[in-house]
Amino acid sequence: MTTWFNDLKELIWHPKSKGFDQIAEHGTIKKGLLTYFCLDIMFSLIVASLLSPLIGFLADSYILEIAALGSAIILGAAVFIFVLRSVGLFINSALFFGLYKLTKGRGTWSDVVKGFIYGNIIANVYGSIAGLILLVSIAVSTDLPIAGGASFALGILGIVIALGLWIFYQNISLMSRILLDTKGKVFVLYIITGIVLSVLEYMLK
């Protein structure tokens, strides 16, 4: 049995060589949700630390009151984000599982949910890195000449897009390993799931 932190470490640092196997064999929905929640807390803390100077500048006379409520605000935001994301995960998992069973796959509902949870963890961690790269590139490009700044920004944007495609491929590889099925089949199911969700969202507007 492994801990949620060890699962996260192997998933991020050694996804293909060890992480996917460890998640498939020892990962659980409970540990996955715990990891998801801890990452939301970290994200909320980072956002709060970035916003604190702005709040202090705009509302200097109320900074102590705001600071006193900071912990509650951060925790509340983290719980709210966690609930919304969890609902979305289970909806996506239900639709994917329904399509998957039409192919007579042997995986279970819990396998699919686990794949979606840990897949989103990969997307959140590496997506945050891509966001930081993009923000830094924007800040740097403003100090460069117009032509050089544009070329630099396009290069960084290409890196971010490539990272996004890599994240999607890692999600496919992880789900394929958990379900013991082919990457091609998982890829098609992901695409169909995305299309169906888009159509349902359009119909509900």
Q: Tell me the one-letter amino acid at 9.
A: K
Confidence of residue 54 (pLDDT cuts 50, 70, 90): low
Tell me the per-residue pLDDT of 90-149, one tens digit each, with 9 for 90 and over: 999 999 999 999 998 888 999 999 999 999 999 888 888 777 777 777 666 666 555 555
Q: 112 with 100: CB under 8 angstroms? A: yes
Task: Kindly report whether the global pTM for this prediction surpasses the value 0.85.
Answer: no
CA pair distance 174, 115, nearest whole angstrom: 7
How many residues in the chain? 205
* Among the listed residues 119, 124, 123, the one whose alpha carbon sits nearest the alpha carbon of residue 174: 119
Tell me the per-residue pLDDT of 29-42, one tens digit each, with 9 for 90 and over: 999 988 888 887 77
What per-residue confidence (pLDDT) applies to 4?
A: 84
Confidence of residue 204 (pLDDT cuts 50, 70, 90): confident
What per-residue confidence (pLDDT) applies to 71?
A: 60
